[in-house]
Structure 1
Amino acid sequence: MRHRGVGVWGTALGLVTLLSACTSTEQGTAVVVNPTVDSSLPGSATPSATGNPGEQPGVDVVAELSELLPCEILSDEELTTLGFDPETATFDDVGVSYDCRYRFPGGERPVMTIQLDWNYSVDQLNLTNYTIEEISVGPLRALRIIGKTASEHCQISLHLSEDAHVSVFVHYAGTLEQACAIAEGTAAALEPSLPRSSD
């Protein structure tokens, strides 16, 4: 097991970190598109001819996701391939956060965060003031979430069940396009290791 530092990032996530506990109404501008982000790993799940893509009948997604450690999902090799330094991993479980943050070698920007959430689905995210695109990451339904104002931040949230999702946040990437490319690449690397239900 790799050594991981523990830091407090708390409410510093710049994108969607606050969830709406009172409503499941999705706000924002939904743009219907059908791009697919392929998993970069061999042996990832592929859509079956029948049933929902990525279906894993009988999986207790909440239990399995709550057992995962966000700093242990990706290997050092995968993180290095994505451009991040595994030694910069910073774990945070304060408040609503349960995530791991990484930086480029030398502590350089951008900052990438993997956040696990087994209390809310992607449809319960508070998306006020964000533009949302429906995409697929491997067989999983996902949302590409960006601010309505110009920024260099991008979020990919992967639907796992009616009660769970995983988000990848990329901040300070220089451009929005670069932030989304890094977030989508990270999400594709994560996808094969994530539990998912058939809902």
Structure 2
Amino acid sequence: MKVKSVKLSEIFPYYDNPRDNTNAVEPTKESIKRFGFVKPILVDKAGVIIAGHTRYVAAYQLGMEFVPVVYSNMDDEMAKKYRILDNKLAEKSSFDEDQLLEELRNMEVPTDMQAFFFEDINQMLNFSLDSINQQAEEYGGFQNDYSQVEEENFEAPSNEEAGESEEAPSDEEEEDPAKDLFVLKEREDGSHYMKVVCPYCGNMETIEIED
């Protein structure tokens, strides 16, 4: 079968087409405008459409004069059966939802294809590109060119800015209370004591040592 460029006025819709494609016309128009008329219209010898009624209506609304057409040698009975079969086969097909969502997420702007979906792509992907763009604008837009970012010199705040007084560090080291543990000490009055850690409560205690 050969594809021919035929005047739209020379082909005709099937008068008793059982399929209502009204909701698919606008997405089909968008597809034709974006990708071209990729799939030809299938007609019988008299130019009556066997498959492609939606593409026919879309082409008519777009004001196209010529469309790609394939002429079939089916007889009337075979053409009727094929019309029904073609419509039912379309209903049988479905998407692998996980694979579809993964493919949409890998696209730069998946919502650019919203015209081809009956569902809202933002809801399918569980995020809104509009909300992300709005947040980006509130923060001055996305900054992707890091070579244009000016370097800034950051200085540590002074003690005054930090709310601290400028005091010279003490030469005296802080006393470590642990260094006197378990060391026998003598007071000025001659009595002796020792600092220990209670094994039960962990507190430091002072015990008197009798001579």
TM interval, shorter chain, is under 0.3
Scaled by the length of structure 2, the TM-score of the pair is 0.26
Q: Per residue, is there more helix in 1 or in 2?
A: 2
Which of 1 and 2 has higher RCO (CA within 8 Å, sep 6+)?
Answer: 1
TM-score of the superposition, structure 1-length normalised? 0.27
